[in-house]
């Protein structure tokens, strides 16, 4: 205030000098008393007129009684029952009554008893969520696995397994009569034997076929196992798109035997076509085999340098 008076009452110059806004300055100026600087401290913003309850104690007891009788019902349901009992009350007023009853400790929410009909999420001993910073830089860094129901005949359901490498788009496909953990447990061997690079991590959904024996098989082989959160197939979109390709380009035009053994042999032939002949748009129209050869060549040159 001395600076302000010395500059002839120039508020703009004073605000620039002390780095404050004009609103702050004029607020302090209104409250400034030279012999009582406490007036410059922040004051309470509590309104002068506070809203008081407009309902009667009888109505509050009626709301309390209904809520204790139906502890999981909210204001929208309770107001219907209150109006049937002759109370002229709004939904918002019932909500305010419930809030006040809780604040005063008159209404205590009932604690859950531990009984639940919801699906229980079993703990996974080895599989974890994929770390947020995990990056896919080279083939084998992350391989996605998924199953597809194939119905060649009425009442016949086969389980098609697809394994796709996100880096090279290299696919491994097999079909089985059932999708169980025991069946899937042998799949890492097929995966490791038919991919031309080491596999570091697998990503699967929460299906039961990817638990138990499958999880143990990955742990024994030192392959990291990432499991998707519930209801999030988009995070496995790469292999989901591969499933569509195999369905459209193999199953919809396949006219051979549909027994497991010959069908798997036909799938091996299709797998060879897919990985070595079919151009892939995401790879600049290279085949997965050409992409892997180029990557291996570049890695060797980098090591030599």
Q: Is the pLDDT of residue 188 over 80?
A: no
Average pLDDT over residues 41-68: 88
Six token digits for residue 107? 């209404």
Please tell me which of 11-25, 31-45, 98-112 the model is most confident about, judged by mean pLDDT: 11-25
Average of per-residue pLDDT values in the chain: 87
Note the pLDDT of residue 114. 61
Per-residue pLDDT tens digits for 215-247: 888 888 888 989 888 877 788 889 999 999 999
Note the pLDDT of residue 228. 86
- Nearest 10 degrees: CA dihedral of 258, 269, 252, 149? 60
Strand partners, 172: 163
Strand partners, 143: 165, 202
**Contacts of 145 by beta carbon, 8 Å cutoff, 6+ apart:** 161, 162, 163, 164, 187, 202, 203, 204, 210, 239
Side by side, the strands of the sheet bearing 201-204 are 171-176, 158-165, 143-150, 201-204, 224-227
Buried residues in 32-64 as b, exposed as e (16+ CB within 10 A): eeeeeeeeeeeeeeeeeeeeeeebeeebbebbe
Note the pLDDT of residue 304. 78
Q: Is the pLDDT of residue 16 over 90?
A: yes
Note the pLDDT of residue 187. 72
**CA separation, residue 221 to residues 104, 147, 250 (Å):** 60, 21, 31
* Extents of the domains making up the chain: 2-40, 57-103, 143-304
Residue with the larger pLDDT of the pair 168 and 51: 168
**Number of helical H runs and strand E runs in the chain:** 12, 5
Average pLDDT over residues 55-71: 93
Q: Is the pLDDT of residue 6 over 80?
A: yes
Note the pLDDT of residue 42. 80
Note the pLDDT of residue 273. 93
- DSSP letter at 158 equals E
Q: Write down the pTM of the prediction.
A: 0.59
Residue with the larger pLDDT of the pair 154 and 242: 242
247 by Cβ neighbours in 10 Å (0-12 / 13-18 / 19+) ranks as: middle
Task: Return the CATH fold of 143-304.
Answer: Nucleotidyltransferase; domain 5 (3.30.420)
Note the pLDDT of residue 66. 93
């Amino acid at each position: 205030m001395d600076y302000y008076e010395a500059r002839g009452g120039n508020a703009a110059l004073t605000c620039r000098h002390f780095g404050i806004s004009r609103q702050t300055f004029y607020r302090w100026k209104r409250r400034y008393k030279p012999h009582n600087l406490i007036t410059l401290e922040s004051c309470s913003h509590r309104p002068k007129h506070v809203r008081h309850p407009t309902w009667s104690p009888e109505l509050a007891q009626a709301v309390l009684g209904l809520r204790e009788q139906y502890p999981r019902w909210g204001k929208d349901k309770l107001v219907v029952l209150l109006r049937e009992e002759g109370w002229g009350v709004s939904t918002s007023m019932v909500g305010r009554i419930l809030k006040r009853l809780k604040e005063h400790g008159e209404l205590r929410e009932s604690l859950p008893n531990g009984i639940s009909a919801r699906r229980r999420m079993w703990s996974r001993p080895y599989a974890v969520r994929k770390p947020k910073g995990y990056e896919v830089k080279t083939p084998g860094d992350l391989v996605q696995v998924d199953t597809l129901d194939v119905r060649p005949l009425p009442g016949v359901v086969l389980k098609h397994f697809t394994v796709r490498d996100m880096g090279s788009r290299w696919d491994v496909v097999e079909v089985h009569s059932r999708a169980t953990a025991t069946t899937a447990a042998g799949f890492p061997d097929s995966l490791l034997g038919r991919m031309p690079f080491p596999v570091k991590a697998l990503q699967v959904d929460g299906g039961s076929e990817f638990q138990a024996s499958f999880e143990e098989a990955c742990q024994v082989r030192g392959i990291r196992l990432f499991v998707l959160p519930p209801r999030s197939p988009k995070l496995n979109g790469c292999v989901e798109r591969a499933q569509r390709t195999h369905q459209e380009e193999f199953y919809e035009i396949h006219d051979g035997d549909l027994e497991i053994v010959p069908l798997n042999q036909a799938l091996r032939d299709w797998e060879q076509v897919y990985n070595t002949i079919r151009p892939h748009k995401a790879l600049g129209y290279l085949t997965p085999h050409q992409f892997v050869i180029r990557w291996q060549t570049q890695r060797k040159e980098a090591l030599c340098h």
